[in-house]
Structure 1
Amino acid sequence: MIVDFDVAFGDHVLKGDQYVGDGVNRVLYLHGAGTGSRRGHHLLRNALQQRGIGSTSFDCIGHGDTGGTLAQSSVASRTRQAQAVAAARALPEPLAVFGASMGAYNAIRFTQSHHVDALVLIVPGVFTPTAYEVPFGPEFSAVIRRERSWADSDAWDILSRFEGRLLVIAAENDATIPREIPERLVAAATRAQSSRLHVVQGAEHNRLWSLLAEDPPSFDAAVDMVADTLNGGRQ
């Protein structure tokens, strides 16, 4: 069962859905930037639901069914939008937070305000703190396009305090995210209960789960890895 919902956020209405699991539904799934939306993550969410694991996701401002313009948002606003959804939907803690691309940085930031015991970061992007509150647009692009602007991200420091389970899934042929980022994220999580980097061979930034789906055993193995990060498939 999939349940649609609306959450008021300022002058906007965030459109989302919950893939209902068999028990407690504690997964919050955050999509990426560009043309990303929650619907682009159906393959993984559906596979988890079939294993009894529910998830909640929504379209950030400027994306998907929520609409609006990107200039009305920022990376920081995306974090606040996620916090609003978690509160409105009364998601139980400890949370398991998934983040894809830009959403990975929002997921990492989420650990500062909520009890999170599992992080799944997929083709993860991270950002310099100076870009956090800058509205999306030319000024934001100028900040993040500086060479290695991500190197001074606070993501490393935040993850150094994370004590839950961390899974980072990277694409072998990711032309957007340098391999150093997922490697450094795992290395930073020195206090994590567990940390693992899984590189999907042949995958690209925007073609990871769809590629895995072409080989069901590989797809199932990757989904099992995600479920294990959620503590052996606990909902």
Structure 2
Amino acid sequence: MSHPARTTVQESVLAVDGERLSAYTVTPGRELRDAYGVVLLHGAGDGDKERCLPLAQDVAARGHHALALDFSGHGASSGHLAELSLRRRCDQAAAVVAEVFGARRPLVLVGFSMSGQTVADLLARYGPRVAALALCAPGIYGRAAWDVPFGDGFTELIRRPASWRDSRALQAYGSFAGRALLVVPERDDVIPEEVTWLVQTALAARADLSVLRLAGAGHALGRWLSERPQARAQLLDSLLDGLQPPVRSS
């Protein structure tokens, strides 16, 4: 499968976390000298890597490498959604990134919905290796929910009033000093306004932050963007144009 004359898409299955995880890697026809590994992380529910593929192809068309995976219980991956957890999401993403991009390629993390928390959890692992991030209608979750399987009380925990206020994501975003893009839909019936405000406030502390508001969009930004090339271009202009690679330690 290929994006006309510019990118190559490969689907692979990786043995990770006791599961078989399906992933797309999209490589550029002509790689930039300082090419990033751009990691696209889908949301919860019926989210999957297919929705991320058009954006991944656009990333590769700009000379960077892109990765989109199905978490266990999603898409073409093995496992049951009820057995997934925030911890396992982070572990699975980190393992796939290590397999595809190794330990040195600088990273750009893009998270949709629930992966707002996963991006923050990965930041804690990668530190300055992450040059930039984009959060699309991001969700964050309280510390008590971190290791709870989605089918074993997770929903009850996150429905507690303001349970997200002690999320570790806020500390991670408050410490991030790279480029940050917050993508906000016109209507979001899933993420409380306070969550969006808390994430934006945390990122504003140190990051080079910009906010992209998408008129006409709802919460499911992965699906919405997959159908709108101009909106994807606008997102990637803000995220990647002029981005400098992180300083590598000797």
TM-score, length-scaled by structure 1: 0.89
Tell me which residue corresponds to 2:224.
210
Greater Cα offset, 219-228 or 172-181: 219-228
Q: Which runs of 5+ in 1 are unaligned?
A: none
Residue 201 of structure 1 and its aligned partner are, at CA, apart by 1.5
2:51 corresponds in structure 1 to 40
Name the structure 1 match of 2:16.
9
Deviation of the 1:32 alpha carbon: 0.7
Relative to structure 1, the CA distance from residue 9 to residue 176 in structure 2 (aligned partners, 3 Å threshold; closer, same or farther) is: same
Q: Any idea what SS the aligned residue of 1:112 has?
A: helix
1:120 pairs with one of 116, 126, 134: 134
Match of 1:52?
A: 63
- Is 1:209–1:219's contact at 8 Å kept on the other side of the alignment? no
The residue that corresponds to 1:111 in the other structure is: 123
Equivalent residue, structure 2, for 1:101: 113
State the Cα distance separating 1:50 from its structure 2 match: 2.2
In 1: Cα distance, 2:231 partner to 2:108 partner: 23
Moved more, 204-213 or 30-39: 204-213
CA RMSD of aligned residues (A): 2.2
Length, aligned pairs only: 231
Deviations 1:59-113 (A, max 9, x none): 0010000032012220110000011101111344321111111112101110111
CA contact (8 A) 1:165 1:193 kept: yes
Shift of the alpha carbon at 1:224?
A: 1.6
Indicate the residue corresponding to 2:26 in structure 1.
Answer: 19
Asked whether 1:83 is paired with 2:90, we answer no
Tell me which of 135, 156, 169 is aligned to 1:155: 169
Residues 117, 165 of structure 1: 8 Å contact kept: yes
Matched, 1:227 2:244: no
Would you say the 8 A contact 1:19–1:46 is kept in 2? yes
Q: Secondary structure at the match of 1:118?
A: strand
| Cα deviation 1:179-215 (Å, max 9, x = unaligned) | 332332122124534011211112101156636855x
Secondary structure at the residue paired with 2:195?
helix
- In 2: Cα distance, 1:170 partner to 1:229 partner: 22
SS, match of residue 125 in structure 2: coil
Q: Retained in 1: the 8 A contact 2:136–2:221?
A: no
1:143 aligns with 2:150: no
> Residues 146 and 172 (structure 1 numbering): CA distance in 2 closer, same or farther, change over 3 Å?
same
Change (3 A) 1:90 1:51: closer
Runs of 4+ in structure 1 off by over 4 angstroms are 211-214, 216-219, 229-232
2:4 maps to none
Give the secondary structure class of the aligned counterpart of 2:13.
strand
Q: Quick one: percent identity of the two aligned structures?
A: 30
The Cα shift of 1:121 comes to: 0.8
Residues of 1 paired with 2:11 and 2:163: CA distance? 37
Task: Report the Cα offset of residue 152 of structure 1.
Answer: 2.1
CA distance in 2, matches of 1:202, 1:231: 32
